[in-house]
């Protein structure tokens, strides 16, 4: 692969950020929620990158499966990385607390406004507006979606990495004590 | 991949060709997945055994710094071909992605918790009942403790203040949001 090709690929998160900024600043997309919009921009950038590389690198690039697969892997991973960073800026509790301190707001004031119930409520509203869960007559129903699949995978990783969180105190070994 | 024909006295042209036209040779790129999985397995082993501090820094060392040093040593000693640069690149990008997703696992993201509780109740569940399954009492307090442990904030005058590291992180995210033209997130 050429130097231009590698630079284009490694800077995928930057291209996405520029495209994202342009789209978010245009009023046409004002009604689309931020995260689905980001997902669309990430996908569009991956396709754009592949097409750009196909044009700049020529037939030896797009007629050969190896560079195509490599490019797609790096571009998708770059987009996925950007998505996580954006999501962190949007919904991470720790980043929010840090930014409040940066804006000279005390932690005491922040925790008074930023209640756990309100935090969960904001997330539920977001999930309903993204159509990731169904809210019918006050009852919530799960929906098969990419986000619920991601949640399942993260739950498996949580169990794998932090088994101590899943120890049930009601099922202690009767032989002990 | 097309090969360059090297003629006598054209070493300079050959060297230029290497730098300019083939930064990454792709024959071995797929091995990056395999090497990433090996280091990921080491990360799982260390996390489950509790032999290391489960911090962001440790994760960075295990998944990026140590593997990169090993790759660098192999390159320097010429034990592997240049093709392995693509494997290293894929490894680092995969590790960066995992590290970006890791906070959602470590801090038990509320969105993920809501979705996982719902998954166990296909018949549907009322919001107040769902909330009972979520650790509301630790949702904010534990995050403050984690910020102190990570040395991003320090207690001062009955409240907290940002450390230099915390300032850089907060400012970075603020600049990012300003660049995108977005107000503060919902949290």
B127-172 tens-digit pLDDT: 888 888 888 878 888 889 989 988 999 998 888 999 999 999 999 9
Quick one: DSSP state of residue A41?
H
Cβ of A107 and B174 within 8 Å? no
Question: Where is average pLDDT lowest: A53-67, A104-118, B16-30?
Answer: B16-30
**Residues of B (79-138) whose Cβ lies below 8 Å from A:** 86, 89-90, 93-94, 96-97, 100-101, 103-112, 114-116, 118-119, 121-122, 124-127, 130-131, 134, 136-137
User: pLDDT class for B46, splitting at 50, 70, 90?
Assistant: very high
**Tokens 């993260």 belong to residue:** A154
User: pLDDT class for B176, splitting at 50, 70, 90?
Assistant: very high
Centre a 10 Å sphere on the Cβ of residue A105 and count the other Cβ atoms it contains: 13
- A176 has a pLDDT exceeding 60: no
* pTM beyond cutoff 0.95: no
Helices B164-180, A65-91: axis angle to 10 degrees equals 110
Residue A32: its H or E element? none
Residues β-bridged to residue A135: A140
User: pLDDT class for A175, splitting at 50, 70, 90?
Assistant: very low
| The pLDDT of residue A30 | 62
| The pLDDT of residue B3 | 43
Angle at A31 between CA A29 and CA A34, to 5 degrees: 75
Interval A31-38 mean pLDDT:
71
- Nearest Cα residue to B99 out of A87, A86, A84: A84
Which stretches of B64-122 are DSSP H helices?
Answer: 66-76, 84-106, 110-119
- B187 has a pLDDT exceeding 60: no
Conformation bin of residue A145: beta by default, left when phi > 0, alpha when psi is -120 to 50 = beta
For an interface test with A, give the residue of B55, B93, B96 to mutate (most A CBs within 10 A).
B93
- Please tell me the distance from the alpha carbon of residue A168 to that of residue A79, in angstroms, as a whole number: 38
Question: Where is average pLDDT lowest: A35-44, A52-61, A165-174, B170-179?
Answer: A165-174
State whether residue B167 sits within 8 Å of chain A by CB.
Answer: yes
Quick one: DSSP state of residue A170?
G
Cβ of A84 and B174 within 8 Å? no
State whether residue B18 sits within 8 Å of chain A by CB.
Answer: no
Interval B39-51 mean pLDDT:
91
Cβ of B185 and A157 within 8 Å? no
- B88 has a pLDDT exceeding 80: yes
Neighboring chain A residues of B92 at a CB cutoff of 8 Å:
none
Centre a 10 Å sphere on the Cβ of residue A155 and count the other Cβ atoms it contains: 18
Token pair in block for residue A164: 């101590």
| The pLDDT of residue B2 | 41
State whether residue A80 sits within 8 Å of chain B by CB.
Answer: yes
| Per-residue pLDDT reduced to its tens digit, A121-141 | 888 888 888 888 888 888 999
């Amino acid at each position: 692969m050429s130097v231009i090709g590698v630079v284009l690929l490694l800077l995928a998160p930057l291209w996405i950020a520029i495209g994202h900024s342009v789209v978010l600043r245009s009023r046409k997309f004002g009604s689309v929620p931020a995260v689905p919009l980001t997902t669309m921009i990430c996908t569009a950038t991956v396709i754009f990158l592949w097409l750009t590389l196909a044009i700049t690198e020529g037939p030896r690039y797009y007629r050969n499966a190896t560079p195509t697969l490599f490019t797609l892997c790096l571009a998708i991973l770059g987009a996925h990385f950007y998505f996580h960073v954006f999501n962190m800026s949007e919904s991470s509790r720790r980043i929010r607390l840090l930014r409040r301190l940066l804006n000279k707001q005390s932690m005491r004031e922040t925790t008074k406004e930023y209640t756990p119930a309100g935090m969960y409520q904001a997330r539920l509203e977001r999930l309903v507006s993204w159509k990731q869960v169904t809210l019918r007559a006050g009852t919530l129903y799960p929906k098969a979606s990419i986000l619920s699949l991601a949640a399942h995978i993260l739950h498996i990783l949580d169990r794998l990495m932090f088994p101590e969180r899943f120890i049930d105190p009601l099922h202690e070994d009767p032989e002990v004590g | 991949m097309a090969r360059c024909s090297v003629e006598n006295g054209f070493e300079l042209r050959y060297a230029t060709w290497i730098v300019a036209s083939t930064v990454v040779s792709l024959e071995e790129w797929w091995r990056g997945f395999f090497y990433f999985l090996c280091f990921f397995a080491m990360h799982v082993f260390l996390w489950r055994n509790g032999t290391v501090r489960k911090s962001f820094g440790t994760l960075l060392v295990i998944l990026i710094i140590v593997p990169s040093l090993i790759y660098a040593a192999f390159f320097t000693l010429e034990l592997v071909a240049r093709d392995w640069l693509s494997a290293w690149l894929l490894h680092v990008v995969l590790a960066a992605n995992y590290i970006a997703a890791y906070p959602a696992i470590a801090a038990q993201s509320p969105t993920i918790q809501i979705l996982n509780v719902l998954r166990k109740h296909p018949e549907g569940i009322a919001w107040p009942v769902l909330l009972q399954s979520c650790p509301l009492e630790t949702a904010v307090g534990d995050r403050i403790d984690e910020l102190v442990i990570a040395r991003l904030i320090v207690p001062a005058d009955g409240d907290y203040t940002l450390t230099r590291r915390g300032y850089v992180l907060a400012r970075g995210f603020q600049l990012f949001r300003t660049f995108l033209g977005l107000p503060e997130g919902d949290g």
